[in-house]
A and B are shown apart, each in its own frame.
With several copies, the nearest count.
Chain A
Amino acid sequence: MSHHIVEFKNVSFLYPDGTEALRDISFRITHGESVGIIGANGAGKSTLLLHINGYLMPTSGTVNIGDLYLTRQTRQEIRRKVGVVFQNPDDQLFMPTVYEDVAFGPLNLGMDETAVRERVEYALNLVSGLELQNKPPHHLSCGQKSAVAIASVIAVEPDILAMDEPAANLDPRSRRLLINLLKTFEHSKIIASHDLDLIMDVCHRCIVIKEGTVVADGPVMEILTNKKLLEENHLELPLSLQRR
């Protein structure tokens, strides 16, 4: 299924203020893979995720999602294939109720009401948030907000799911629920996080980014046990591997 591929070829990105956030990044993620993106603060993880659905366009190089090259013309289409969940769920829930928020994407895709309702219910059910549907988002707990944010992205049935720091500010139980939720998705997944334990639990492959370049790419266990590599990147062994 070539349409679930994410391929970066020599992608560089300069923020208009001159910051070189990505430099010559190349990798290829195939169907069904789940990939962790790790690196120091400011390494370029968030910038990379913003390229996956064409929010930012590479300054040079090409991004290939499925069978489409990312251009200004194709990016609307690409956004349907790729759902991105940002770091802060508060930034993502902007409709008056949970239901409307989850329905926002499907409605914009031009679906009719019954189809939308089905989609919303399906997505909310997946994150066990069906009974929240009539609540306004600002009355939800942190963990619930995260779940709804994920549902609102799933509702458009993306082929690829990208998440930026999904577990920040969650209590350990909500974090565990989120991990289990992520494990059950059969989508391709790309997760950027400082929570290496979460990456270890959810991903099979791991890409390390340093100052905008890929410095390592391989099976998750191999990378997350490579102390030297991790330390060079302001990281450390996942806490659950740090024996006391």
Chain B
Amino acid sequence: MHMADALLSPAVGATMWAGSMAAIGYSCKKLKENIDNKTIPLMGIMGAFIFAAQMINFTIPGTGSSGHIGGGMILTVILGPYAAFLAIASVLMVQALFFADGGLLALGCNIWNMGIFPCFIAYPLIYKLIAGDGKNARRISIAAIVSVLIALQLGAFSVVLETLLSGKSELPFGTFVLLMQPIHLAIGLVEGIITAGIISYVKKVRPEILQASNTLRPLDAGISIKNVLVVLVILAVITGGALSWFASTHPDGLEWSIEKVTGKGELEEATQGIAPALKDIQEKTAFLPDYGFKPAVKEEPKENEAPAWPGIEAGTSVAGIVGGAIVLMFILFIGFGIRLFKK
């Protein structure tokens, strides 16, 4: 479910970075308020644990294919939302750097999608609600499964939104949602069952670990549902506001400035290309009309779009190919040159 740099526009990337960084800062501040000195090493090492656990594969029942876990919910249940959020953010960062999972720019999105939802939404709003005081094993299992499911659904939906807002992919909103949500329903079910299994195992073998996280750390108790909702609403407003500002004034983030410099704007035609009849629907359904989410409705024959594509004239593209080839050869040449020179 990792978002990738290449699918992102700078605007979306930057906004999500800002949002995630703010959440990290806020969590650090909250954690500092009543920190137990043990927490710092514990967070780091738990992060490493999740990282290692994600690398073990298992056979998904009924399918024969193999999967691995995300582990966000386990961390949250053990460490409490703030510490867990930081640990998840760290894991994602290590993955971005060492495995290039997603990438650095998409890191903001990934932290948001896989950290915020389990820690600050699914945990306080769902897990805590269902699990109650954490004494009833059955309730804990149900809580784990449901909360993981919901966190993953939200995360997947968020990926869809980010991708579409970035406008690099042509996938229509509806199709994309239909692709992502059911897949993550299945993933979430498996992950939820695993999470429940691990929590109940820990509860059986070392109950004091779970108790510690239930009672000793006031962090869990400290999160009130009201606060969560307020923060969420604020964040949503800020994010939405920032995104729509970017999207409306700057067709593709920095692109507006290119238009000025090079004079080749490229996006107007996207809106023109869609038949006027559809334009109406589109303006009603898409919240960022400028971006022209291509509606899933496809009665419109494709040929209509073709002439509306004046983007690159023939001469330019040939020059591009020739120039590109030369540039690449030049770069390769430099690479080999330095290598030879060094030997």
Contacts and interface: CB of A to CB of B under 8 A. Distances in A.
Nearest to A17: B208
A185 interface: no
A67 to B, nearest CB: 27
Contacts of B41: 94
Q: Is the interface of A mostly helix, strand, loop or mixed?
A: loop
B99 to A, nearest CB: 15
A138 B208 contact: no
Contacts of B205: 136, 138
A16 interface: yes
Nearest to B208: A16
Interface residues on A, range: under 10
Interface in B178-210: 205, 208
Interface in A15-40: 16
A36 to B, nearest CB: 31
Contacts of B208: 16
Interface string A104-142: 000000000000000000000000000000001010000
Q: Is the interface of B mostly helix, strand, loop or mixed?
A: helix
Contacts of A16: 208
Nearest to A96: B201
A103 B205 CA distance: 21
Nearest to A138: B205
B40 to A, nearest CB: 10
B52 to A, nearest CB: 13
A16 B209 CA distance: 12
A224 B339 CA distance: 49
Nearest to B44: A94
A109 B272 CA distance: 65
Interface string B303-328: 00000000000000000000000000
A231 B205 CA distance: 34
A136 B208 CA distance: 18
B189 to A, nearest CB: 24
A91 to B, nearest CB: 10
B175 to A, nearest CB: 39
Contacts of A136: 205
B25 to A, nearest CB: 23
B214 to A, nearest CB: 16
A136 B201 CA distance: 12
A94 B40 CA distance: 12
A155 B205 CA distance: 26
Interface in B285-310: none
B57 to A, nearest CB: 15
A163 B41 CA distance: 22
B204 to A, nearest CB: 9
Nearest to A139: B205
Contacts of A94: 41
B293 to A, nearest CB: 44
Interface string B203-245: 0010010000000000000000000000000000000000000
A162 B221 CA distance: 40
A169 to B, nearest CB: 21
A16 B207 CA distance: 11
Nearest to A94: B41
B199 to A, nearest CB: 15
4 pairs of A and B residues whose beta carbons are closest in the complex: A16-B208, A94-B41, A138-B205, A136-B205
4 contacts: A16-B208, A94-B41, A136-B205, A138-B205
Interface of B: 41, 205, 208
